[in-house]
């Protein structure tokens, strides 16, 4: 029973952080006009039929004290190719070539369930092709077949949820008064689409912006639209190779009242009142500020194609950490095929 209630807390905490209005690691840089020697501009110099194949590694970890446990291990490969190039921008395709999951050693119930879900969902969307457009700088302006993609993702999600409800661990949870199906019902087409394009969007997030070379840091106070945060930016370039890159890190400081409010709603959906009250009591024992760190590092080839990307999302609360990391590397490419 103990590991099942803990799973409920983890799920609620995930929903909590995902629901925050936190500042993401994309700086308020200027546009690409009038660049100077002390700045770098992220601009796409793509050609028709340019093709890149990337390999993505994704992992999640829980850290408490000196104990570190891996809770997710996934790998994917995808291809991005240019289908049309004009003076006003580009038309591209994003193909999901492969998707694999591995069950980490010593996996607990939560890890076993999430790994099963990711594996079943990944198999259903493998081979999908998302068509998207950018402006002349490489800024994504839209998804040409978004309607079809939403239908595919929604169908895959509903079918996977149906399989998941038969999983022995889910049956145990239901018998213990934890209703995972209610939490799963919170995810709609909008959430699925946002999650599917999250890494693609991040690979092109810095395009069309200009950054001061070197390191910059600043603090922003809390407002009605965002939490207080500390931001760090480092931009670099290599004159010999033409490569350049940007790394950004943002610490968002989230009052415990806000974390408790959203977590309580998620827990209430999943559990009986008795279990929800017990979990809420434990959650409020330490009234500490939650820190959510969003880190992104991107390096580019001279022509503006992403070379490597690392994204980390770290949640810290009451001596515990939850880390999510995505690492994307190019495997092969073909460019300049005019």
Summarised one tens digit per residue, pLDDT across range 135-191 is 999 999 999 999 999 999 999 999 999 998 888 888 887 777 776 676 677 778 899
33 found inside a domain: yes
What is the per-residue burial (b if ≥16 Cβ within 10 Å, else e) of 124-136?
bbeebebbbbbeb
Summarised one tens digit per residue, pLDDT across range 69-115 is 999 999 999 999 999 999 999 999 999 999 999 988 877 877 888 88
- Asked if the model's pLDDT at residue 221 lies above 90, the reply is yes
Quick one: pLDDT band at residue 277, thresholds 50, 70, 90? low
Q: How many domains does the chain have?
A: 1
CATH (domain of 247): 2.30.230
Contact 37, 280 (CB under 8 A): no
337 found inside a domain: no
145 found inside a domain: yes
Contact 184, 136 (CB under 8 A): no
pTM: 0.84
64 found inside a domain: yes
Q: What mean pLDDT do residues 251-277 have?
A: 67
What is the domain range of residue 304? 2-331
336 found inside a domain: no
Q: Regarding predicted confidence, which is higher, 124 or 172?
A: 124
338 found inside a domain: no
Summarised one tens digit per residue, pLDDT across range 3-53 is 333 344 444 444 444 444 556 665 544 544 444 579 999 999 999 999 999
CB-neighbour burial class of residue 176 (10 A; exposed 0-12, middle 13-18, buried 19+) = middle
244 found inside a domain: yes
C-alpha–C-alpha distance, residues 13 and 18, integer Å: 9
255 found inside a domain: yes
Count of alpha carbons within 13 Å of 210, Cβ hemisphere only?
Answer: 10
């Amino acid at each position: 029973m103990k590991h099942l209630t803990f799973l409920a807390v983890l799920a609620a905490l995930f929903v909590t952080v995902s629901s925050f209005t936190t500042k993401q690691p994309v700086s308020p840089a200027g546009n690409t006009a009038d660049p100077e020697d002390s700045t770098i501009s992220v601009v796409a110099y793509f050609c028709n039929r340019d093709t890149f194949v990337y390999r993505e590694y994704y992992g999640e970890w829980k850290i408490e004290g000196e104990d570190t446990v891996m809770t997710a291990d996934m790998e994917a490969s995808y291809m991005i190719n240019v289908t049309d190039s004009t003076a006003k921008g580009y038309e591209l395709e994003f193909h999901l070539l492969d998707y694999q999951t591995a069950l980490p050693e010593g996996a607990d119930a939560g890890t076993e369930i999430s790994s099963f879900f990711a594996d079943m969902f990944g198999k259903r969307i493998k081979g999908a092709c998302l068509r998207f457009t950018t402006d002349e700088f490489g800024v994504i302006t839209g998804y040409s077949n978004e309607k079809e993609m939403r239908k595919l993702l929604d169908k895959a999600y509903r079918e996977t949820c149906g399989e998941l409800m038969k999983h022995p661990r889910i049956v145990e949870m239901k018998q213990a008064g934890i209703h995972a199906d209610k939490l799963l019902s919170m995810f709609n087409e909008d959430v699925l689409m946002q999650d599917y394009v999250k890494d693609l969007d991040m690979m092109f997030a810095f395009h069309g912006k200009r950054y001061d070379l070197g390191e910059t840091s600043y603090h922003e106070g809390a407002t009605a639209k965002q939490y207080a945060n500390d931001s760090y930016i480092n931009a670099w370039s290599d004159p010999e190779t033409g490569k350049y890159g940007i790394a950004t890190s943002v610490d968002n400081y989230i009052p415990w009242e806000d974390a408790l409010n959203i977590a309580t709603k998620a827990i209430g959906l999943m559990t009986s009142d008795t279990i929800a009250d017990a979990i809420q009591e434990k959650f409020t024992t330490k009234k500490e500020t939650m820190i959510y760190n969003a880190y992104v590092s991107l390096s580019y080839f001279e022509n503006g194609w992403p070379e490597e990307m690392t994204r980390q999302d770290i949640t810290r609360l009451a001596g515990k950490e939850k880390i999510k990391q995505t690492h994307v590397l190019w495997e092969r490419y073909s460019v300049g095929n005019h």
